[in-house]
A and B are shown apart, each in its own frame.
Chain A
């Protein structure tokens, strides 16, 4: 009696999968359009709130406030599509910044500092990935521990002090503009990275494998995808990008405190999820994430214009995160199922 039952169940699951895929495709196509509308709405509201919002220089300058997070959001997209999560990225940033501070105090020049920052991030990310893949522990558990460990090391090294002495030429990365234009160097770097990540995710076999792992890692493994190797690479990449973001942020504010970038993981994950990347993995799109970066950036800029304190902005971010995850589910319930 059991056998036919199991068969029927299997078929149902198969059909449901099919239905879900069709639905999700529809939603995904619409999701970016929804995001675009939200983006336009935010611009309209903001420009009504303040006459200074739609100023070219202001808009360019406000990107400084969120591009560093956006640079971590790109690899975070890969991590989440893989079905993993990394909540230690902001702590990696802090650790890497502290190492750069130490190097700078020891008299290392600008290029040396960049190497130190990138390498520290890379090593920390590799450590995460190694523990996750070697021992088969869920990424949430490992990054939960390393989040505390990495920032803890930053506190051990710095205590209540700060590194403030960085070479003059180091300031360019976080504060400089391209030539005589008003386009920040950070923004250009983000655009280049976004193009690279977009191509890797949507145009290469590596990208297809990432989606495959997120959809069903066991099946991907049996199909010959080196699941653990790819996950290790992705965690190393997010560490590397956290190191990169650390260079930009440290260069922009010109100092390192152990609480640097505290709480960023919330905003980064919110950005990715609002961008339409499904939190359980397997679905996502670079365009959604890019629009979402600017939505959250301009939203916070707008809230800043009407003097909303940062902690209250976090309430809004928390709501945004939860609503962004609930929306696809809600849309699915509301939509009539006539498109099977």
Chain B
């Protein structure tokens, strides 16, 4: 039942199609297959990391450090590739996931064991990770010609016209769709976000689940770090700055409740896709990229307000239904 899209997601999907229709009226080239593939490629990384962010927001937390850990893993593997070009690619990918898991587990430990509120934890680790990027690269860049071709070309290489990047994003989507809606651990993540006390009484290990959510998000972010650096063929100390807000925007637009407990992978995928369309459309209709940040902030605020109003209405409906039944 949970795998099937809910009513909200369906409405959102219709809304997105409507938006695409309106934009294509103004710029017909928007509907071009190439442009469409561009949008998918652009949103692939956002979708992946937003799913990690979803897991954390669902537990009632938030991860502001995703952009910094993405940059740190990206820089680490880029430097590795630059200095030891003989290391095969799949090892590099494994290393990036491992570094990501490690960074995520530090967040997880601080939140679950040291009981530091997630915002503060990740605000702190954000600046630590971001500072470490600067330390390991000593303020320099790793640019395209310093990377091996296999490294650089990996996200772009395509099979049946679909790039590796999109394949990996689809893989992550499917994996986490199954994990979050069909496995016991996945349901427990929703459980602790919905009602902590109740979850504890049912016997869910709060600390373990919290730790797991941050660590898994770290793993996805690590992989995304490699893909980011390879795709843009550049690693620098400012890589992906502000990306954490994009992932949060994708989540709240996709209907994830910021207070935790509800939100679906499908919703987040649609949310990320929506943001991708908006950014792409802005460039298509020649709006300066300086608008992106303001629009993103507006989208976050607007989506959160709409979500809250809808949540309250649903709750009232539920109460009315119950009193009617009684």
Q: Which residues does A use to contact B, with CB under 8 Å?
A: 85, 87, 131, 135-138, 140-142, 144-153, 155-156, 158-160, 258, 263, 265-266, 269-270, 273, 279-280, 309, 311-315, 317-319, 321-322, 325-326, 329
What residues of B have a CB within 8 angstroms of the CB of A326 in the complex? 114, 116
A331 to chain B, nearest CB (A): 13
Judge whether B293 and A152 touch: CB under 8 Å.
Answer: yes
Q: B278 CB to closest chain A CB, in angstroms? A: 13
Interface string of B104-135 (1 = CB under 8 A from A): 00000010001111011101111110111011
Residue in B127, B259, B290, B304 with the greatest tally of chain A CB atoms within 10 Å:
B127
Other-chain contact of B294, A155, A311, A312, A322 (Cβ < 8 Å): A155
Cβ contact of B308, chosen from A85, A135, A269, cutoff 8 A: A135
- Residues of chain A within 8 A (CB-CB) of B119 are 85, 87, 140
Closest 5 CB pairs of A and B: A152-B294, A149-B297, A148-B297, A152-B293, A315-B131
B131 contacts A156, CB within 8 Å?
no
Q: Say yes or no: is B248 at the interface (Cβ < 8 Å to chain A).
A: yes
Q: How far, in angstroms, from A245 to B304 measured CA to CA in the complex? A: 29
In angstroms, Cα B132 to Cα A159, docked, is 29
B318 within 8 A of A: no
Q: Closest residue to A149 on the B side, CB-wise?
A: B297
Q: A138-B259, A273-B120, A279-B117 are in contact. Are A148 and B131 (CB under 8 A)?
A: no
In the bound complex, CA of A325 to CA of B123 (Å): 12
Q: Which of A137, A148, A150, A325 touches B120 (beta carbons < 8 Å)? A: A325
Question: A272–B124 Cα gap in the complex (Å)?
Answer: 14
Task: Select which of A145, A265, A315 is within 8 A of B135 by beta carbon.
Answer: A315
Given the interface pairs A135-B309, A266-B123, A322-B121, the reply to whether A145 lies near B128 with Cβ below 8 Å is: no
Instruction: Please measure, in the bound complex, the distance between the C-alpha atom of A269 and the C-alpha atom of B122, giving whole angstroms.
Output: 13
* Chain B residues with CB under 8 A of A321: 120, 123-124
Total A-B Cβ pairs within 8 A:
138
Given contacts A266-B127, A311-B134, contact A155 B290 (CB under 8 A): yes
Contact between A325 and B116, CB atoms less than 8 A apart: yes
Contact of A269 among B120, B294, B309 (CB under 8 A): B120
Instruction: Report how far A273 CA is from B121 CA in the complex, Å.
Output: 12
- CB proximity of B22 to chain A, nearest CB, Å: 22
Within the assembled complex, what's the spacing in Å between the Cα atoms of A153 and B115? Answer: 35
Our pick among A131, A148, A150, A318 for the contact of B127 (Cβ within 8 Å) is: A318
Q: Is the interface of B mostly helix, strand, loop or mixed?
A: helix
Question: In the assembled complex, which residues on chain A have CB atoms less than 8 Å from the CB atom of B134?
Answer: 309, 311-312
User: Which residue from B124, B139, B288, B296 sits with its C-beta under 8 Å from A148?
Assistant: B296
Secondary structure call for the A interface: helix
Q: Indicate if B305 sits at the interface (CB-CB under 8 A).
A: yes
Minimum CB–CB distance for A211 against chain B, Å = 19
Residues of A within 8 A of B309 (CB): 135
Given contacts A152-B293, A152-B296, contact A279 B120 (CB under 8 A): yes
Give bound CA distance, A175 to B256, whole Å.
47
Chain B residue nearest to A326 (CB atoms) is: B114
A220 to B248, CA, bound (A): 32
Q: A131-B305, A321-B120, A322-B124 known; A141 and B294 CB under 8 Å? A: no
B87-112, CB < 8 A from A: 110
Least distance between B296 CB and chain A CB atoms (Å): 5
Residues of B within 8 A of A314 (CB): 127-128, 130-131
With A152-B292, A152-B296, A326-B114 in contact, is A138–B120 under 8 Å at CB? no
Q: List, in ascending order, chain A residues with CB within 8 A of B123's CB.
A: 87, 265-266, 269, 318, 321
In the complex, are the beta carbons of B237 and A311 less than 8 A apart? yes
B18: CB under 8 A from chain A? no
Identify the interface centre among B124, B294, B295: most chain A CB within 10 Å of its CB.
Answer: B124
Is the pair A156, B128 in contact by a Cβ cutoff of 8 Å?
no
Residue of B62, B126, B294, B297 near A318 (CB, 8 A) is B126
Q: Which of B125, B248, B292 contacts A144 (CB 8 A)?
A: B248
Given contacts A156-B290, A280-B117, A318-B124, contact A141 B304 (CB under 8 A): yes
Contacts of A156 in B (CB 8 A): 288, 290-291, 294
Does B300 sit at the interface, judged by CB under 8 A?
yes
Residues of B within 8 A of A131 (CB): 301, 305
B297 & A146 in contact (Cβ 8 Å cutoff) = yes
Question: Which single residue of chain B is at the shortest CB-CB distance from A311?
Answer: B134
- When C-beta atoms are compared, the residue in chain B nearest to A158 turns out to be B290
Closest to A85 in B: B119
In whole angstroms, what is the CA distance A141 to B297 when docked? 11
Within 8 A of A (CB), among B216-273: 237, 242, 245, 248-249, 252, 258-259
For the complex formed, measure the closest distance between the CB of B191 and the CB atoms of chain A, giving whole angstroms.
20
B84 in the interface (beta carbon within 8 A):
no
| B305 CB contacts on chain A under 8 angstroms | 131, 135, 137
